[in-house]
Every structure is written in C-alpha cells, then in structure tokens.
Structure 1
Amino acid sequence: MATPRTDTASFHAYLTTLQYPRIVALCGAGLSASSGLPTFRGAGGYWRTHEATSLATPGAFLRDAGLVWQFYSYRRHMALTVKPNPAHYALAEFSRKVPGFQCFSQNVDGLHQRADHPRESLQLLHGTLFEVKCWSENCGYREENFTDPIVPALALPVDGKDPTATPDISDPKVPLARIPIESLPQCPRCKRNALRPGVVWFGEQLPMQVLMNVENYLNDLAGVDLILVIGTSAKVYPAAGYVQEARQRGAKVAVINMDANDVPAGGWEDGDWMFKGDAAVIVPELLRPVIGEVVVPA
C-alpha cells in the first residue's frame, strides 16, 4: 500500500494546477465535532433510557410521535446552541469560488446551511434536522424550519427552582410530558397529518433527488480531480462507494481526520494525502490558495 503525503505544500501545488477543478468534499460527524456538537450515534448511544437509533424509525414515530419529536426537538436545540466552524465557512466559500465543487454531507445538524453554503452544491445524504415534511408521502409537503421550539408543546421544561434554567431532558430523571399528536407540528397543506423530521430514518432510502445529483456528478465525463474526506471514516456505503467512484474517475484522495490510522475505502494510492487534526483548522488552510482567509461572523 502506498504511503500518503502529509505536507500542505504539495496539496496546494496540486490544487492550484487544476484549471477547471472538479472536487468533492465528503463530510461526516468529525466536521461538526469541531463546533462542539455531541453525537447520538455509535455503539451504546442512548438518549434517556432509549437507544438513540431506536427512535430513528418510522415505527417509533407511529408508536409515539410525541417521544420521537421530543428527541429530535432536543437535537435541533443542541445544534442551534453551537455555531458553524471555520471549516463550514471555508467549504461554503470554496463552493462560491469553484463551480465544479460539490459537498456530499452525512451531517443532519444544519451547520452547512447556517454557514450559507450554496444549496446547489450541497447534497445532504441523510437529510437534515431543519427540514420538516408531511408524514404522508402522498401529500409531499416539506419546508425548511429553524424555529426553536418548532411548536410550543416542544419547548424545554422550565426548572421550578430557577426559571432562567432549562433542565437537561436527555437526563432520564427529568420527567417528559406526554404530548398528543395534535400538539405536534401539523401539515399546513393536507391538514390531516403531523409533520415529521426531514432526516433519513433506519429502513428508509436516501433522498432520491440527492442520490441522482450525486450520481450525475460522479458520472460526468469530465471526471473528478480530488475528493476530500472530512471527519468520516467513509467505510459505510454509500459513502465508501463515493470514494471509490471518485478514484475510478481520476480523483486523488485527501483525508482530514483526528485518526491518522483511518484508511479510505480501497486503501491509499500514490498521490493521496492524510492530514491529522481538527477539521476546523486544517480545511481552511488547505483551501486558502483559492478562498483566501476565512471570515467567521462574530
């Protein structure tokens, strides 16, 4: 197996030689970790007494939509307590500078959108916490919504001893209200169904339009020059497949991750890069020859 390069200079040299670059960023949870956002995925990941992944199913919503919405409302709230980091802003600016750039993101936290990433170059593989859609596919209603809480019934409880404090409802000791379905977000189009979070649940297909956008980009005859694998092991499909497809179309691979032993799908090849460390620091530096210094709003 080849040994990846680790120097920024060779990366900058390659990036600046591309006349009409076609570049992909494949982003995972490590990108958002730099913003201080906790994750609910992984072995043993629990929310209260529930395995977090067990709440991410259509069946769970049918059984107790109120509980599922409380879980996702909490996740929405937590995502809104942190800010996009310099890597989010760097990717957004890179998108504005490079027409042939696409960001394939596995993150649902809305940080790309809050960094004003152009939507035409952002493919949200797993949906987003900040889109809601009608439970009925026949209705088809969906909207972007960053309101917290999305409805009054999902407001965080107030601490009786300190009205300025909000108890951590992820703590099983904090009681949860039983919320009737009519108090949850309702579809304004059909007026018959509750809205649900616009994330991909277990047992569901990834968004068809997003998959088509990704495949159309990867299958373009112009090929792919580079794929940045940021904050993800990219060993689970379809993400692993995208790395391999990009390689087949001529791409070099650059991995940005805290784990230097994280090998991309298919292994290292000559000309690849591995940058170990914080994506919020590394990504802006890698893209600096194209975007200049990243400006993060105060």
Structure 2
Amino acid sequence: MAPHNDVEAFHEVLRSSRRILALCGAGLSASSGLPTFRGAGGFWRNYDATQLATVRAFKMDPGMVWLFYAYRRHLALKAEPNKGHKALAALARRNPDFLCLTQNVDNLSQRAQHPPSQLKCLHGSLFDIKCSNESCDWMQKGNFDDPFCAALAPASVDMPNGEPLPLLDPYHRVKHITEDELPKCPQCSSGLQRPGVVWFGEDLDAHMMMDISAWLRAQPVDLMFVIGTSAGVYPAAGYIDKARKLGARIVIINLEAEDEAEMFKVKPGDFAFGKDAAEILPVLLEPIIGKPNEEGEFEKP
C-alpha cells in the first residue's frame, strides 16, 4: 500500500493519538441515501440548491424554500444512520478527548447516539425551527413534524414502486405557497417560522464557536479526520489548518480523496482514503471501537 492509504500504518498512529478532531460533511450521510446538493448535479427542481439556502431566497419566496427543506426533512426522517455515523459515535464514547464538528443538518449523528457534548453541529439542524425576524430569539428544538405544515404536504409524499416524485420534476407545476399558509412565530407573531439551519451569509453560533476554540486551545491535537467534505466552506474548512498547526496529522476520507487533483492536500505524514466513509471508518477505527455486532453496534475487542 502507498504510505497515504496504509491501514496498518494508520492504526499505529491511531493507537498513539489521544486528542482527535473530526470535520464531517454530506459525504458521511451519502450511504444513508441522502443527496449532497453540492457540486455536480446539485439542483433541486430547476434551482441551484445552494441558492435556496439564503435569507434573500426566503424573503423572495418562503414557500419554495420551505418546500426544499420540507423535502430534506422527509428524506432525513426516512434515512437511517450508517456504519460511519455509528463508528464515530462509538469513538466518542470510547474517547472523551474526541470532538466531532459536523456540517450536516440531517440529525443522523444524533440518532447514532453520538454523545451531545462531543458533537458540534456547525450549520444547525433541519429539525430546529427559528423565527425569521432577526430581532426575535424564538427557537424550537427537535420538531419532527412531517409534513411540517399542511401546505408542505407535497414534499412528504412517498411514491409507490420507486416512481419519481412529481415535486422533483422542474416541469411539474407546483402550487404557490403563500406566507399566510406558513406558520408564524408564536412569540413575536410577525416573523415566519424558518428552518434552524445556517444559510450562506449567516454567522455560525457564537457560543458554539467559542466552545470549539476553547477545545483547540486546551492542548495539542494529535489527529484530525476530514470526512465526506471537499472542505471548501468556511469557517469550517479553516479548522484543518488550525489543527495542523496544533500538531495534528490529517486523515482525509472522501470518494475523491486519492484523485490526482486532490492529492496535493495530502502532506507528508497525512493519510487519504478514497472510499465511502460508511465503508472505511469502521475499518480504520477498529482498534478503538472493535467490530460491529449483528445489530451493527460496535463492541470493543
């Protein structure tokens, strides 16, 4: 094996690593059947999905933005955590010095029983609801209503025999959803309820960022996983350089990680595994978390 993808060599590094950081992206949940909505094919109907994730888009057409997020909520509720989520959760339970930063909003890490104190959801959650009025601080945690409201029912349809959902066809006309059909904030009564996710142009939660900074400042970092993400979104991607400066060796796990165009990111002493995170994480973490049992849970050897 090449030095960058030698599993046995990685196991030696893992065994001697105590403080471990992980940054996770949409590729971690791909094996659970959730689309990434980034890069090639990242369209929803005829919209660039990233263009729907903005305050401006919500102000212009909150009904269409909510349909997009209602569809994502429905998919996430149907999905199950995969072995990658479970392996990271098992690592957290075995190692109190492991901290996971996830850009995912799908709640699959939480459902895999990842300890909450060791999981920072950088971009919020599809299942948190907040007020769109910036001067209002109302928020509801853990709303799993599906559909979220009656007007969004078309996003929660399961088609028989694998037939395509009409909502996803850009040529299928969708009934316009007015503001009056969407729930208002129960606190201020003026703002609309919106998904509690961080949209492009919005700041990450300040208290969460301070917690992460305090963890990084506490002691050197031995190892950092970069899982299922191209690490192109800041400030999340900036943690890679911060960890490296604190002594961490970087482990990139992504389907494109070993492509020629990506290998420049791999420095001497780092690792890169061009495999599905759900496949390779249980193998890489086996010395710490053990093998999965018949129920798919990990038992320490």
| Alignment map for 1:32-181 (pairs within 5 Å) | 32-42=29-39, 45-142=42-139, 143-156=141-154, 167-181=165-179
Higher helix residue share: 2
| Shift, 1:99, TM fit | 0.8
1:174-194 deviation digits (Å, cap 9, x = unpaired): 332222323223323333322
- Alpha-carbon distance between aligned partners in 2 of 1:61 and 1:139, rounded to the nearest angstrom: 17
Quote the offset at 1:165 in angstroms: 7.9
What is the aligned partner in structure 2 of residue 209 from structure 1? 207
More displaced 10-residue stretch of structure 1: 173-182 or 120-129: 173-182
Distance 1:157 1:284 in 2: 34
| C-alpha distance in 1 between matches for 2:80 and 2:169 | 24
Give the SS at the match of 2:225.
strand
| Aligned equivalent of 2:241 | 244
Matches of 2:260 and 2:237, distance apart in 1? 13
How many residue pairs were aligned?
290
Shift of 1:101: 0.8
Note if contact 1:252-1:271 (Cα within 8 Å) is conserved in structure 2. Answer: yes
Which ranges in structure 2 are unaligned for 5 or more consecutive residues?
Answer: none
Residues 225-247 of structure 1: CA distance to partner in whole angstroms, max 9, x if unpaired?
10011112224432332111111
1:282 to 280, 283, 286: 280
Q: TM-score, normalised by structure 1?
A: 0.87
57-66 or 232-241: bigger deviation: 232-241
Offset of 1:275 from its aligned partner? 1.8
TM-score normalized by structure 2?
0.86
Deviation at 1:16, TM superposition (A): 1.9
Contact kept in structure 2, 1:4 and 1:268, CA below 8 Å: no
The DSSP-based 3-state class of the residue aligned with 2:176 is coil
Deviation, 1:213, is 2.2
CA distance in 2, matches of 1:253, 1:108: 24
Deviations 1:194-234 (A, max 9, x none): 211111112212222232222222222x1101001111222
Partner residue in 1 for 2:266:
268
Runs of 4+ in 1 over 6 A off after TM superposition: 262-266
SS at match of 1:233: coil
Secondary structure at 1:178's aligned position in 2? Answer: coil
Which residue identity is paired with 1:280? A
Moved more, 256-265 or 37-46: 256-265
Shift in alpha-carbon separation, 1:157–1:134, aligned structure 2, 3 A: closer
- How far does residue 8 in structure 1 lie from its aligned partner after superposition? 1.6
- Do the aligned partners of 2:226 and 2:253 also contact (CA within 8 Å) in 1? yes
Structure 1 CA distance, aligned partners of 2:237 and 2:266? 13
Percent identical residues: 49
- Which amino acid in the other structure matches residue 290 of structure 2? G
Aligned to 1:234: 231
Change (3 A) 1:195 1:157: closer
Pick closer, same or farther for the CA change 1:270–1:84 going to 2, 3 Å: same
Q: Secondary structure at the match of 1:34?
A: helix
Please give the alpha-carbon distance, in whole angstroms, between the structure 2 residues aligned to 1:12 and 1:251: 15
How much is the aligned-residue C-alpha RMSD, in angstroms? 2.7
How far, CA to CA, are the matches of 2:183 and 2:270 in structure 1?
47
* CA contact 1:25–1:103 (8 Å) conserved in 2: yes
Is the CA contact 2:70–2:155 (under 8 Å) kept in the aligned structure 1? no
Deviation at 1:27, TM superposition (A): 0.8
Task: Compute the displacement of 1:28 (Å).
Answer: 1.2
Flag the 1:244–1:4 CA change in 2: closer, same or farther, 3 A. Answer: farther
C-alpha contact (below 8 Å) 1:87/1:280 kept by paired residues: yes
Contact kept? 2:32, 2:82, Cα under 8 Å: yes
Pair 1:194 & 2:198 matched: no
Question: For the residues of structure 2 that align with 1:86 and 1:158, how far apart are their CA atoms?
Answer: 26
Q: Tell me what 1:10 maps to.
A: 9
Please, which runs of 5 or more residues in structure 1 have no aligned partner? Answer: none
